[in-house]
Structure formats: C-alpha cells, structure tokens
Amino acid sequence: EKAEIGLIGLGTMGAALASNIADNGFRVAVWNRTTEVTRKFHADSDEEDLAEQIVPTESLEDLVAAVAEPRAIILMVPAGDPVDQQIAALRPLLGPDDMIIDAGNANFHDTNRRARDAGDLPYLGIGVSGGEEGARFGPSIMGGGKREYWDRVAHILRAIAADHQGEACATWMGEEGAGHFVKAVHNGIEYADMQMIAEVYGMMRDGLGMDAAAIGDIFGRWNDGVLQSYLIEISGKVAKAVDPESGQPMLEVIVDAAGQKGTGRWTAIEAQHLAAPIPAIEAAVVARNLSSRRDERAAGEALFGPAPERIAKDLPMEMLEGALIAGKILCYAQGFAMISAASKQFGWDLPLPEIAKVWRAGCIIRSTMLDDMAWALGEDPNRNLMFAGYFADHLKTHHRALRRVVSLAARNGIAMPALASGLAYFDTMRTARGTANMIQGQRDFFGAHGFERFDGRSGQHGPWGRG
C-alpha cells in the first residue's frame, strides 16, 4: 500500500511531524540523509504503535516510489541551501503533478523564488510553528502557494494541525511565500512578546528584589487574566524551576545571552523595506544582539557604575501587569499593521482575521488575546488594532501603567527597550501635531527639498538666507 505523503528530513521537527501524520491515520513514507536516523526513527515509532503507518526508505528513488501519485513530499531540512539542494535532487525524480512542500523556516523571498522557478510544477511553502511539541501534537500551519496545491493536501495539514474549539489551525495565506512571510512575522511578534516578559522579569528581579519563585507565582497569577498565553505560562514555569544539580533557581544558572535563528531579524529587515513601523519587534531583535555582548556589558558596568538599582517605592503588581497588557497590545498592533502593509505591497490579500485565528492554538504566541484580535480584525482588517474598541479601552486604562513602569525603569537604570519603544509608539500615534516640521525645515535648509505649509501651499522654501 502506497503512502499518502512523503517526508524528507527526520530531525527534531521532521520526526515529530511524521509521527503526527502517522498518528492521524495517514501513511507517510520517510527518508533522511543519514540512513541510520531513518532506521532508528522507524524502530522507535513502534513504541507509539505508529510503525505500520510509517514507510522507511533508504534512497530518494525508494521514497518517491513509496508515495501514491500525484505525490506530495514535505521537506523538513534546515532553511537555505539544504532546501535548494533537496529540491534539485528530488525534482528530476518527480512527475509534473507531484508537489514539493517546504515546511521549514524559509525566508519568504526564497519561497517566492522557488515557487517561480517551479513554474507549473506544484510547490508549497508552509510555515510551521509550535516547536517540537507542536509538530508532534498539533502545530499552527501557515500555507503559501497556489490555492489548488494547498487544497490538495489541506485535509492532511488540517488533520495534523492544532485544534482551537473545533477549528483547525491550518490556513492558506496566499500565493508564493505568503505562508512563510506570515510565519516570519509570527516569530517577530514572538521575539517582542518574549522580550517584554523578560523586561518585566527584570523589573521584578532588579527593581523590586523579588526571587525567582515569587516571580514565577506572579506570572502564574497573570496567566489567569488578560495576559493568559503560552509564553506567560512557560515563563512562570521557567522562573519556578530549580536546577537539580545546584539546587538554585534555573534562572540563576542560565547565561543571559539569547540565541536566535534569524527569523525575527528577517521581520525587522522586511519591515524597513515596507516602511512598516514595528519598533517593539526591532527593539527585541536588538536586545537579543546586545545580550550576546556579555564582555562589553561587563566593561560598561565597570565603567558607568552599577545599574540597575532597586526602586525606592513599592510597585503594585497590577501596575506591572497593566504595563505588560499595554505593551503586548502595541506589539501585536505593530505586527498586524506590518502584515497589512505587506498584503498591499505584494498584492497578496492576506486574510488578517484568519491569521489571528490560526495563531490561537499550536504556535508559540497562542493566547486568549488573539481571540479578541481575530474578532477586531474581522470588523475591519485595515484598522490598527490599537484603535479597535476592546484594545483601545485597554490602552486607555493601562497606558498610564506602562508610562509609570517605563519611567521608573529609566530612573533606576533598568533597560526596557521593547516596553519603552511601545510607549513611544503609543505617544507618537496619539499626537496629532508631531515634530516632523522641524525635520522638513532641516531638509529644506540643507537640501532644498521644499515643504508643505499649513495654509495648503507646497513646494515652498524657507528664508534660510543661504544665498
């Protein structure tokens, strides 16, 4: 009996995805560059009673022969050259109706190119979020490519995806790299959400002198409220965990230098190309980069004195929670506004409410708030979320808390780049008369760029006396 789908690359994600496919009753043929990995995977799958649904193969030819026509074969290999290499090796073995699906974290520009290079040969790029656990038990899947290609495999992708109250978290986003683009913005938002939580943790640890377990309790409590989310939940668990070796809180053992695979950076770079303001996400990318510079930071502390300092007065936890609520809304508002800008720029017609929905389960940024975002974007996908009723109400209530927390942090030398940039974004977006008149004056002074006047005339120059 032939397999309904094939999969290449039995690493962390590929193995979990193949098991998930098999677990949902689909026969899946698998191949891995290192054969030993395939054998071990198949042997291990016996423990989960999945071995019968999995067809191990030891050459690409055997893989192709094992899959029913028209074929669909998923690639789960590292993004970049390995994907191009696999496509080059696989395509000559496939028929004109056979489909290649790149399920890794491809840069969407690469997916655009590969979809174009494929011509009439079916190609899909799908973003898969949720880490290993998600891939095994239900990820969030963002699809890109021709709709008819998506429809051919949607029944499998929906079956393996996370379920949110009966709705599968697997959605077609648009042509070419649309799915990988949406996945990249997801990761950018993820960076900012994580960074804001880390900043609030920093306030509790350094500003208030709370120990890790107490901080864990606070996150645990917040997880019952507006902030309910996977990231708050795991932050609580991380804070409470104890190192079995030293008996110390894990947070005292883990080095303060964050890694990254680059998807947040892509989002920041793309946002600049689109002229889409996502300062909270950019701040989070910068914060990760700075976190790696531990020696420089140590030298800075030696030179400029101890920072951060304890804050003198008490800071109610509700205030900190309110600041995080406001920060989170502003960060997501920026992310969705960027998706809206890309949708117009690339002619993709990205389904914003559906994007909020597909993120409600399975992925790292899943949260209760996304339910409300889906609803607000359904009302008007082109309105910045900060202006949507429910979120505007939250911001009216909580922007003072954000202001208080950010100013306390500034006064005490506690770095809060993402929350502070969220506040600056908020203040900019609620200031009808800004300060760019000065910029225009400067530009006209040195470059004769001209400016518009409030009386409606344009193409004017100032009396700068430059001869």
- Residues designated catalytic: 183, 190
CB contact at 8 A, 194 and 231: yes
Nearer to ligand NDP, 63 or 388 (CB): 63
User: What residues contact residue 372 under an 8 Å CB cut-off, 6+ apart?
Assistant: 390, 391
Nearer residue to ligand NDP within complex by CB, 33 or 109: 33
Pick the closer one to ligand NDP by CB: 262 or 353: 262
Nearest residue to the partner ligand NDP, using Cβ: 11
Smallest distance, Å, CB 134 to ligand NDP?
8
The residue to which tokens 């986003």 are assigned: 173
Size of the site for ligand NDP (CB under 6 A): 23
> What's the rounded Cα separation, in Å, for the pair 162 and 170?
8
Q: Which of 37, 51, 242, 250 binds ligand NDP (CB under 6 A)?
A: 37
CA 312 to chain centroid, in Å, comes to 36
Is the separation of the CB atoms in 108 and 184 below 8 Å? yes
The residue range among 11-19, 53-61, 154-162, 408-416 that interacts with ligand NDP, by the rule CB under 6 A, is: 11-19
130 appears as a binding residue in the annotation = yes
Specify burial of residue 308 (Cβ count, 10 A radius: 0-12, 13-18, 19+).
middle
Q: What one-letter code names the amino acid at 246? A: S
The answer to whether 33 contacts ligand NDP (rule: CB under 6 A) is yes
Selected from 77, 156, 189, 198, the binder of ligand NDP by CB under 6 A is 77
What is the CA 214 to chain-centroid distance, rounded? 28
CB of 104 to ligand NDP, least distance (A): 3
Amino acid residing at 39: R
Q: In b/e form, how buried is each residue of 141-155, taking b as 16+ CB within 10 angstroms?
A: bbbbbbeebbebbbe
85 touches ligand NDP by CB under 6 A: yes
Told to check if 10 binds ligand NDP by CB under 6 A, we report yes
Kindly give the pairing relationship between strand 163-164 and strand 167-168: antiparallel
Which residue among 54, 64, 72, 76 contacts ligand NDP (CB under 6 A)? Answer: 76
Q: Which of 9, 138, 351, 381 binds ligand NDP (CB under 6 A)?
A: 9
Rank residues 366 and 399 by Cβ distance to ligand NDP and give the closer one: 366
Q: Which residue has the tokens 């430059």?
A: 466
- The answer to whether the Cα torsion of 134, 137, 138, 144 is positive or negative is positive
**By CB under 6 A, is residue 34 in contact with ligand NDP?**
yes
| Distant-in-sequence, close-in-space partners of 57: CB < 8 Å, separation ≥ 6 | 29, 30, 31, 38, 63, 66
Q: 283 near 331, Cβ under 8 Å? A: no
In this chain, which of 2, 12, 407, 428 binds ligand NDP, going by CB under 6 A? Answer: 12
Q: Based on CB atoms, which residue is closest to ligand NDP, 35 or 246?
A: 35
The least CB distance from residue 362 to ligand NDP, in Å, is 11
How many angstroms separate the CA atoms of 391 and 331, rounded? 12
Q: At what angle do helices 317-346 and 389-411 cross, to 10 degrees?
A: 120
59 binds ligand NDP (CB under 6 A): no
Contact between 38 and ligand NDP per CB under 6 A: no
**Which CB, 10 or 197, lies closer to ligand NDP?**
10
Using the contact rule CB under 6 A, the part of the chain among 127-135, 339-347, 352-360, 454-462 near ligand NDP is 127-135
What letter does residue 249 receive in the DSSP assignment? B
Name the residue among 97, 25, 94 with its Cα closest to residue 65: 94
Q: Is 78 in the site for ligand NDP (CB under 6 A)?
A: yes
* x/- track of binding to ligand NDP for residues 234-273 (CB under 6 A): ---------------------------x------------
- Can you tell me which of 51, 91, 93, 131 binds ligand NDP, judged by CB under 6 A? 131
Which of 11/220 has CB closer to ligand NDP? 11
Q: Which is nearer to ligand NDP, 75 or 168 (CB)?
A: 75
Query: Is residue 32 at the binding interface for ligand NDP, with CB under 6 A as the rule?
Result: yes
Q: Which of 3, 5, 14, 332 binds ligand NDP (CB under 6 A)?
A: 14
User: Nearest-5° angle of CA 286, CA 252, CA 307?
Assistant: 55
Q: At what angle do helices 317-346 and 212-222 cross, to 10 degrees?
A: 60
* Torsion, Cα of 160, 164, 167, 168 (10° steps): -20
Whether 78 has a binding-site annotation, put simply, is yes
Token code pair at residue 15? 């193995």
Per CB under 6 A, residues contacting ligand NDP are 9-14, 32-34, 37, 76-79, 82, 85-86, 104-105, 128, 131-132, 261
Which segments are annotated as binding site? 9-14, 32-34, 77-79, 105, 129-131, 186-187, 191, 261, 288, 443, 449
Which segments are annotated as binding site for substrate? 105, 129-131, 186-187, 191, 261, 288, 443, 449
